[in-house]
Structures are given as structure tokens and as C-alpha cells.
Amino acid sequence: EVPLYAVSAEASLSYLLPNIEVHRALNNAGLSDPALSERVATNLNAGVSRLQSLQNTDGGWSWWGQSEQSDPYVSAYVLFGLTRAQKVSEAVNQETLNRAAAYLQGVQAQNEISDNTSGADLDEAVFIQFALSQAGSTDPDRADGLYAARDRMSPASRALLASIVNAVNPADPRVRELVNNLETDAIRTASSAHWETPPQNLLRRGSPVYTTSVVVYVLAQLDPANQILLDAVRYLNAHRDARGLWNIGHENAWAMIALNEAMIGIGDLRSDFSYSASLNGSPLTSGDVNGIQLEPLKANVALDFLSPASPNLLTIQREDGLGRLYYNVVLKVNRPVQDVQPINAGMGIERAYCDPSLTGGQSPQCTPLTALKLAPDQRVTARLTLTLPNDAYYVMVEDHIPAGMEV
């Protein structure tokens, strides 16, 4: 069988790029992962060769094979990836990069920024300029034009714009302004932060995971001490699926690239500290971190050891040293159902029972019933209303039917 990614430039790069980034990060920190190094060595040259063979005659790439017209976004994505791959592999042909840059510069010349440029088109224009700047072709005039239209961009594009402006002049105050704007626009919870793309900007890449990943990638380079970066890292970690991934290859790639860049920016690759944890004075766990802790340490305490009548003191102590200590505390307890009160954890749900005979079964109206005498063939409609203020993943709503009834 031919692998799915064999004829897809986007899928080929989405598989290759995260491996390259993590490999570079570990090697630059003097660390090694033999399995990862072997995987990169095995796939890098073949992956680069495949991408170069898929380049169209105009210098760009299509979503699939060479049979379609070159797509500006995919072309910019591949240029960005090959630019990163060139740092660890001699297999990347400089002529390939030059042809890609020339194609993208031609696309830019045909699409001037104006007051009528849509948000989706601005997002594509920013990503093209970002890829070019990463390849050493920053255009200050283009950056100025994009900055003037920043209010119509998605959060991801404003983050990439900050990277572009920083490449032109790291001392430019507009970099700080764009970062501050991202902080203001973040959607925060008690323990996380993320960004969402406005509906008019969605196009091909508008999921909260993608948008948040791009912001994390840029913030980790420009402002790694920002607390919102850590909150966004928590969001990305919390929205993985059962396989530890996110969604499609493109989204997986950006999430892993972002987390890798955050690991570098925050300084976790250079961690060197001791830690301990205790509960109500009794030791739970302790250890030393030197470099990177790949496996988490777990400690469990039975409910019997917790006091129901007084506060329970969990003490986590970290000694001086480089790096950050990450921990997660979960309390699992069953309560008598009559004592459980409704909670609001970011979503709301309401249930109403209605008599469909009152509206002929067709009306969207649902007048809640407080009492109803049931006949053997009596129909009752249960209507659930779920309210989500923001996008959510892996949400399941389960409602049990009243006793004695059938669906």
C-alpha cells in the first residue's frame, strides 16, 4: 500500500516537522532520545526528497500531488518546514527554497493589502510573509501594511505578525503591542487560556487548537516568562485525545511544534532542581530533576486519610534551581445524590419535559410540564439545552429517561 502522505505535501510535512523540531531541541540541549534520532534519520532524507519531488513547476505546492494548481498556504507551510529541515539535513536543496520563495513573493505582488482585504485573505498573507521571513526574506513594507490591517486578523495571524515585526526590528514597540493584544483577547478559565478564530476567518485553519498552538509557538520565543503562555500550554495538553494527539495531521504538527518551542522558551530542557510533596505532614513523593523528566511520578492517597471535618494540607516544595515543576491534583469522591448541587464548570445544561400533543409534535416551542397523567400510549418529549460559551472538545451529554418509560 502507498502511505496516505506519499502524495500529500501537507501530510508529509505534518509527519516530518514535529520530529525534526523535537530532535533539534534535544540535541541543542545536549540530550538525546535514541528512538527519536533513529526515526528522524530514517525518515528525514526520504521525507525531504518526497517534498521536493512534489514541488510544482511554478515553485509552489498543491494539497495533493502535482496535478493541481499550487496553493499559497500549503506552499508557505512547506517552505517553513523545509527551512527548518535544512538546519539538520543537507538533503534540502537550496534551489528548492529559492523557487518556493520566488513563487510566494509573486503571490504577494498580486495581492495588495487594502481596506477591502478579508480576514481570511489577511491570515493567508500573514502566513506567507511569516514563511518568507523564516527563510530570510523579510519585507518591512509588507509587514507595515499587514500591521495596519491587524484588527481584521485572527489571533494566530497577529501572533505571526509579531514574529515578522520582531524579525525586522526586535526593538520595535509594535511587537509588545501585539503581544499585549493577544493577552487581552485570550479566553481564560481558572487553569488555562486559549484563542479562537472568528467565523469569518476560518478558511482551512480555524480550530482553537491550531490557533492556540500558533500563539504559543510565537509567545515562547518573544515572551517566554508570560504567565499566559503556561496557561495556554495547559490548554493544549488538556485537549489531547486518547492517543495523546489532537486532530488531523496539520493540527497535530502545530500543537507538537508549539509545545516543543514552549519547552525551550520556558527552560524545561535545562531543569535542575529537587522537589517533594506531603499531605497532612505525611510524605507523598520526592525526587530530583536533571534535564528533562520524561515520565511523571504518581502518588495516590485513599479517602480514609483525608479529614472530612478540617482542611487537608497538601504541601508541594520545590528547591531552588532552573526549570519549572508541573503537577496535577485530582480529588475523586462519590457523594450521596441528594447532596449533590448543580455546578457550572464552563457549560450549562437544562432539561424540560413537554407534551408533544399540545403542539402537534411539530412546533419548536416546548412548554415545560410540571405534572402529567400518563396513558399507556402517552408521548412525552424531553428537550435538553446545552449552552457552551466557547468551543469544546469531547463533549458527551447523556440523559436517562424517566422510570417506566421507553424511548
Q: For position 204, what pLDDT does the model report?
A: 56
Say what the pLDDT of residue 244 is.
79
Q: Which residue carries 502518588 as its cell?
A: 299
* CB-CB contact of 164 with 126 (8 Å): yes
Using pLDDT thresholds of 50, 70 and 90, give the confidence band for residue 202. low
| pLDDT tens profile 224-271 | 989 999 999 999 988 887 777 887 788 889 999 999 999 888 888 778
C-beta separation of 259 from 217 below 8 A = no
Model confidence at 2: pLDDT above 50: no
Around 93, how many Cα atoms within 13 Å sit in the side-chain half-sphere? 13
Q: Which helix (H) or strand (E) holds 384?
A: strand 381-387
**What is residue 5's predicted lDDT score, i.e. its pLDDT?**
45
For residue 126, the model assigns a pLDDT of: 94
CA distances to 326, 334, 335, 336, 342 from 339, rounded to whole Å, are 33, 10, 7, 5, 10
Q: What is the pLDDT of residues 82-101, one digit of tens each?
A: 999 888 777 788 999 999 99
**pLDDT tens-place string over residues 133-189:** 999 888 899 999 999 999 999 999 999 999 999 999 999 999 999 999 999 999 998
Banded pLDDT at 328 (limits 50, 70, 90): confident
Indicate the pLDDT class of residue 205, thresholds 50, 70 and 90: low
User: What's residue 360's pLDDT?
Assistant: 54
Q: How far is CA 31 from CA 22, 40, 143, 324, in A?
A: 11, 15, 37, 18
10 Å CB burial of residue 399 (0-12, 13-18, 19+) is: exposed
Query: What are the angstrom distances between the C-alpha of 401 and each of 338, 345, 377, 385?
Result: 19, 24, 16, 16
Q: Please indicate whether residue 34 or residue 358 has the higher confidence score (pLDDT).
A: 34
Q: Name the pLDDT band for 190 (thresholds 50, 70, 90).
A: confident
φ, ψ of residue 38 in degrees (nearest 5): -65, -40
At residue 98, the pLDDT reads 93
Percent of the chain whose predicted confidence (pLDDT) is above 90: 35
Phi, psi of 324 (to 5 degrees): -120, 150
